[in-house]
Amino acid sequence: MIVCQNIFKSYKHGGGTKRVLNDVNFTVQQGDRIALLGRNGAGKTTLIKLIGGVEMPTSGKVVRKMSVSWPLGFAGGFQGSLTGYDNARFIARIYGCDYDGLRAYVEDFTELGRQLKAPVKTYSSGMRARLAFALSLAIEFDCYLIDEIILVGDQNFQRKCHYELFEKRGDRSLIVASHSNEFVKAYCNRALVIHGGRATPYDDVNEAVEIYDKL
């Protein structure tokens, strides 16, 4: 279970303060698949970062009672100047898991072959997505935080994700920020519409998508 209690987040810049999240409350149960819906800049990525502990809320707290992945997104989590293998080794070390097993899984899942010996900064966003998913799936979290990135992959990658994430690990929780209504309707059972700093939870995903479309 993850509980977000009275979360406020403001950023200071240029003398002013911008409040991005304004008293956000919600709970994620084991097995929940929650879509974060909102326009660009509404605060979806910020919320995911707060849940993942990458940034801290200005006030309020996030209580994590299950293991939560790092946010899988376009940025962060990797050292660009290191190779795919080096990053995998680093992740294996800090999460205390066996590197040989992790490497085998990453090679199989990513199908990147020799590219894994190249620095991550030379990867396309699709390739980064493959690597990020492979690593976090190999470590096995109870809850995965996914920021858009699932959609940058090709057909083959999406099929694999579908199998690994929704079939093999159907009991896991998922928090996913996405602009794809089809994806949200197909895979999520709850939704959170973020608008004007407020987050409104919906148990009916179709209703949430309709409201989001009108924003």
Partner 1 sequence: MARFGLKQFKQGWQQQLRVIHALMIRELTTRYGRENIGFLWIMAEPLLFAGLVAIIWRFWKGPQEHGISIIAFVVTGYIPITLFRHGVARSASIFTANSSLMYHRQIKILDFVVVRFIIEFLGGMMAYVFIATILIAFDEFPVPADPGLLIAGWTLYALFSFSLCLIIAPVSEMSEVVEKLIPVTTYIMIPVSGLFTLASWLAPGPREYLLLSPFVNGMEMMRKGIWGDEITAYYNIWNPIGCSAVAAIIGLVLCRRIRRTLTVE
Nearest approach in angstroms of CB 191 to partner 1 is: 25
Identify which of residues 55 and 204 has a Cβ nearer to partner 1 in the complex.
Answer: 55
Identify which of residues 80 and 196 has a Cβ nearer to partner 1 in the complex.
Answer: 80
Nearest approach in angstroms of CB 158 to partner 1 is: 23
Identify which of residues 70 and 109 has a Cβ nearer to partner 1 in the complex.
Answer: 70
Nearest approach in angstroms of CB 63 to partner 1 is: 13
Give the separation between CA 64 and CA 30, rounded to whole angstroms: 11
Identify which of residues 38 and 71 has a Cβ nearer to partner 1 in the complex.
Answer: 71
Identify which of residues 62 and 211 has a Cβ nearer to partner 1 in the complex.
Answer: 62
Nearest approach in angstroms of CB 135 to partner 1 is: 11
Give the separation between CA 160 and CA 154, rounded to whole angstroms: 10
Interacting residues with partner 1 (CB under 8 A): 11-12, 49, 52-56, 58, 68, 70-71, 75-82, 86, 90-91, 93-96
Nearest approach in angstroms of CB 88 to partner 1 is: 12
